[in-house]
């Protein structure tokens, strides 16, 4: 198992430790000090019988992320080679937090020397031996008293004092009760926290996609430490090598989720160890690796910098490398001819068999957003300039492809209805050989006169005309759609309010698959019966993304209407994961209660409306540099012009 790590001192809390150095560091060789021991950072003086630790900084191949905890509050970190690494939790649990900005190393091109197959070369301090007596330096404060989010367990956790309604107060209490701690520090929130649930399955884990609304709620409320911890710990997990039937997925893959496990330590009396156990899909239903986790992670890194104003996190060498690993994984050339990402069923929020394999809109919208984030955050130097060029080209090709071929409105339906098939040439109008008979009967009467949307999927001889909410909302947020198309999506949602919002916003997709189609495509999935779960169920967590899209388009009143609908039921219904039936009148038949991203989505929606200036930091406007770089082969063929240039020429 490989990992990326950085060497330095925790900013969380001072502690006391003496360590000897004798080998090279990440940024060059450290000469052996003259003294036997060297004091690090702001550590206070040792007691007369203090901890004596002999050891060195070493490069190791394997690393287990384990924290050994004693009843007196001490922490001991244990490596996979059964030699002990001794660091106080406030230091070791945040050891990735120690790298400095990569900016100062750009001129030295140290990024190239750091970026190796398998991640960073430098690991945490390797302890050769621990003398008996006072084996580990005692912390100056209890974990709960550590500055920042260490006080989360207490009553004075919120940094931003603001008046809230009764339902908001309940939501904040539930959100904070869902926080997961690793070695005394908050690192995320569980997926659901229902005290009456005796079989939580994997809902007691921290999911990357589920934590996004929680992270934004904390950031918008001035509580950033938990988000920083989450970003750095998931970055640690990125380089783990997980296998399914002796096969390892691509390097750079982010886990779908992780769990903090506590287990007794063999051979030690009263000690236990905390282990971060990630799931890359090898334990998931269907064994599908998450495509969206890395994309969400990049989006959250940008959001952290934008909201807090602290850009040092995204400039760190390890974070820059993490971004590059994800981009390399996504931008790898393959057999696919399209600029969209080719993925399997179950690789995103719709994590079960639902016929979205291929090029689903949700992944393309998140991919485009992550590319735009990376374009802002990547430090350009000799080692990244080629990646930046590739990134820009992909942005241009992807935006053209989605805008031109995924868009559906009344005019496009008429065009598809009159398609000729079996066209063979670069001048073909029906480039994907779509048969007009694929137009579903419900669509012609459902599409409004004014408005449209991006269809759910596009492949050779196949168009999935279902409306997928998440992909369309992120097309607005990221400006994947043109301003006119973005307006059309909101127009459609308003026109079809009873179908998409009804008694609980918002439908994850519309319409549901029924009868023989449901049996064939879902495999008769009992959880995805018509108008349930991913098959037309209503998901309150989509509320925050809808709110962000409405704010961007200057229509916050539409979001307020949706929030008002949700506010009437969420608390009474105990914050369900999803709702069933076409009208969303019933709580989902297998819905978890006290679902964290339902709670956080509601809070984030409220905070976005209260802070539109902060909301504006989370979306993108049209980027004319991308338009300028548009590679549009159509202009050389049948005279068609790229829709972006037709509708929005550069001023």
Give DSSP secondary structure letters for 379-438: PPSTTTHHHHHHHHHHHHHHHHHHHHHTEE-HHHHHHHHT---S--STT-SSTT---GGG
Give the C-alpha separation, 12 to 151, whole Å: 12
Maximal C-alpha separation, the chain? 88
Strand locations in 190-271, DSSP E? 206-207, 257-264
* Percent of the chain residues past pLDDT 90, beyond the cut: 63
Question: Per-residue pLDDT averaged across 89-94, rounded?
Answer: 33
Q: What's the pLDDT score for residue 246?
A: 77
Distance CA 394, CA 388 (A): 10
8 A C-beta contact, residue 305 and residue 377: yes
Rounded to two decimals, the pTM is 0.78
Least confident of 23-37, 345-359, 516-530, 537-551: 23-37
Residue 7 above 50 pLDDT?
Answer: no
Query: Residue 12's pLDDT is what?
Result: 35
**Chain CA centroid to CA 94, Å:** 20
- pLDDT bin (cut points 50, 70, 90) of residue 241 is low
Could you tell me which of 49, 28, 239 has the C-alpha nearest to residue 133?
Answer: 49
- Which residues of 159-312 form beta strands (DSSP E)? 179-182, 185-189, 206-207, 257-264, 272-279
H/E segment holding residue 44: none
Predicted pLDDT of residue 164: 84
Contact present, 458 and 464 (Cβ < 8 Å): yes
* 579 vs 565: CA distance, rounded Å: 13
Q: Which residue has the higher pLDDT, 102 or 232?
A: 232
Using alpha carbons only, how large is the chain's radius of gyration in Å? 26
Least confident residue range of 67-81, 474-488, 589-603: 67-81
Quick one: what percent of the chain has pLDDT higher than 70? 71
* pLDDT, mean of residues 491-509: 98
Closest CA to 204 of 222, 182, 179: 179
Interhelix angle 317-331/385-405, rounded to 10 degrees, is 50
Least confident of 160-164, 202-206, 483-487, 592-596: 160-164
Task: List the structure tokens of 330.
Answer: 């996504």
pLDDT-wise least confident of 41-55, 225-239, 248-262, 384-398: 41-55
Q: Answer whether residue 102 shows pLDDT above 60.
A: no
Best-predicted range by mean pLDDT among 52-61, 89-98, 152-161, 409-418? Answer: 409-418
| DSSP assignment of 591-632 | PPSSBHHHHHHHHHHHHHHH-HHHHTTSS----HHHHHT---
Q: What is the pLDDT of residue 383?
A: 92
Q: What is the pLDDT of residue 427?
A: 85
Alpha helices per DSSP H over 221-345: 225-238, 292-308, 312-315, 317-331
Q: Which residues pair with 278 in a beta bridge?
A: 258
131 phi and psi, to 5 degrees? -75, 150
Count other C-beta atoms under 10 Å from residue 79's C-beta: 19
pLDDT confidence of residue 531: 98
Cα separation, 288 vs 309, in Å, equals 36
Structure-model confidence comparison of residues 570 and 288, the more confident one: 570
Quick one: tokens of 230? 């989450």
pLDDT (tens digit, 9 = 90+) per residue, 164-207?
899 999 999 999 999 999 999 999 999 999 999 989 999 999 99
Residue 646's SS3 state is: helix
In this prediction, residue 267 has a pLDDT band, given cuts at 50, 70 and 90, of confident
Instruction: Flag whether pLDDT at 555 surpasses 80.
Output: yes
Tell the burial category of 117 from Cβ atoms under 10 Å away from its Cβ (0-12, 13-18, 19+).
exposed
Averaged pLDDT for residues 286-310: 96
Q: What class is the 166-636 domain? A: mainly alpha
Please determine, for residue 80, whether its predicted confidence score (pLDDT) is greater than 60: no
Give residue for tokens 């691509």: 250
- Flag whether pLDDT at 49 surpasses 70: no
Residue 627 pLDDT level (bands cut at 50, 70, 90): confident
CA-to-CA separations, 613 to 4, 480, 619, in angstroms, rounded: 35, 21, 11
pLDDT at 450: 93
Higher pLDDT, residue 327 or 53: 327
Q: Which of 285 and 504 is assigned the larger pLDDT?
A: 504
CA distance 538 to 280: 27
* Mean pLDDT across 25-29: 35
Q: What is the pLDDT of residue 211?
A: 98
Q: 263 and 319 in contact (C-beta within 8 Å)?
A: no
The whole-number pLDDT of residue 371 equals: 98
Determine contact, residues 20/136, Cβ cutoff 8 Å: no
Positive or negative, the CA dihedral 418, 422, 423, 426 is positive
Least confident of 45-59, 200-214, 536-550, 578-592: 45-59
Average pLDDT, the chain: 78
Given a contact cutoff of 8 angstroms between Cβ atoms, the answer to whether 144 and 151 are in contact is yes
- How confident is the model over 134-154, as pLDDT tens digits? 333 333 333 333 333 433 443
What is the spatial distance between Cα 83 and Cα 123, in angstroms, rounded to a whole number?
14
pLDDT at 60 over 50: no
Domains of the chain: which residue ranges? Answer: 166-636
């Amino acid at each position: 198992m490989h990992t990326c790590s950085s060497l330095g001192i925790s900013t969380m809390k001072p502690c006391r430790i003496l360590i000897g150095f004798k080998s090279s560091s990440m940024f060059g060789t450290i000469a052996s000090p003259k003294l036997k021991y060297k004091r690090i950072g702001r550590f206070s003086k040792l007691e007369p019988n203090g901890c004596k630790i002999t050891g060195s900084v070493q490069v190791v191949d394997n690393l287990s992320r384990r924290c050994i905890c004693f009843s007196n509050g001490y922490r001991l970190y244990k490596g996979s080679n059964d030699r002990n690494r001794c660091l106080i939790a406030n230091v070791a649990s945040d050891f990735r937090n120690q790298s400095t900005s990569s900016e100062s190393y750009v001129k030295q091109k140290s990024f190239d020397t750091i970026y190796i197959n398998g991640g960073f070369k430098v690991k945490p301090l390797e302890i050769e031996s621990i003398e008996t007596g006072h084996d580990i330096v005692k912390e100056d404060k209890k974990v709960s008293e550590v500055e920042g989010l260490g006080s989360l367990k207490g009553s004075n956790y919120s940094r931003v004092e603001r008046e809230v309604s009764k339902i908001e107060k309940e939501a904040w209490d539930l959100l904070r009760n869902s926080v997961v701690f690793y070695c005394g520090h908050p690192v995320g929130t569980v997926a659901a926290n229902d005290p009456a649930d005796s079989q939580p399955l994997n809902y007691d884990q921290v999911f990357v996609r589920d934590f996004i609304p929680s992270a934004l709620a904390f950031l918008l409320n001035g509580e950033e430490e938990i988000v920083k911890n989450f970003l750095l710990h998931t970055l640690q997990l990125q380089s783990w090598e997980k296998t399914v039937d002796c096969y390892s997925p691509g390097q750079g893959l982010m886990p779908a989720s992780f769990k903090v496990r506590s287990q007794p330590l063999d051979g030690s009396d009263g000690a236990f160890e905390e282990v971060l156990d990630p799931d890359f899909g090898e334990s998931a239903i269907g064994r599908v690796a998450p495509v969206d986790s890395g994309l969400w992670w990049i989006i959250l890194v940008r959001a952290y910098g934008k909201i807090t104003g602290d850009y040092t996190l995204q400039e760190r060498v390890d974070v820059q490398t993490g971004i590059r690993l994800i981009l390399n994984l996504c931008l790898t050339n393959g057999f696919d001819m399209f600029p969209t990402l080719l993925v399997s069923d179950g690789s995103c929020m719709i994590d079960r068999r639902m016929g979205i394999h291929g090029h689903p809109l949700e992944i393309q919208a998140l991919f485009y957003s992550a590319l735009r984030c990376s374009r802002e955050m990547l430090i350009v130097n000799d080692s990244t300039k080629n990646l930046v060029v590739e990134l820009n080209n992909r942005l241009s090709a992807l935006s053209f492809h989605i805008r031109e071929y995924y868009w559906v409105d009344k005019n496009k339906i008429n065009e598809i209805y009159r398609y000729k098939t079996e066209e063979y040439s670069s001048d073909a109008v029906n480039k994907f050989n779509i048969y007009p008979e694929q137009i579903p009967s419900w669509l012609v009467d459902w599409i409004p006169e004014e408005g449209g949307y991006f269809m759910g999927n596009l492949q050779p001889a196949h168009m999935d005309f279902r409306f997928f909410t998440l992909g369309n909302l992120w097309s607005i947020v990221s400006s994947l759609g043109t301003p006119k198309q973005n307006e059309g999506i909101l127009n459609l949602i308003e026109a079809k309010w009873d179908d998409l919002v009804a008694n609980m916003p918002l439908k994850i997709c519309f319409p549901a698959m029924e009868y023989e189609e449901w049996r064939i495509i879902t495999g008769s999935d009992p959880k995805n019966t018509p108008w349930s779960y991913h098959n037309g169920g209503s998901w309150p967590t989509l509320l925050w993304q809808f709110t962000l899209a409405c704010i961007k388009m200057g229509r916050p009143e539409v979001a307020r209407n949706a929030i008002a609908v949700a506010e009437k039921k969420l608390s009474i219904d105990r914050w369900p994961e999803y709702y069933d039936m076409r009208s969303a009148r019933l709580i989902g038949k297998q819905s978890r209660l006290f679902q964290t991203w339902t709670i956080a989505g509601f809070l984030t929606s409220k905070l976005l409306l209260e802070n539109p200036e902060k909301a504006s930091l989370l979306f993108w406007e049209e980027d004319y540099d991308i338009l300028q770089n548009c590679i549009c082969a159509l202009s050389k063929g049948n005279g068609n012009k790229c829709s972006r240039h037709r509708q929005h020429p550069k001023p």
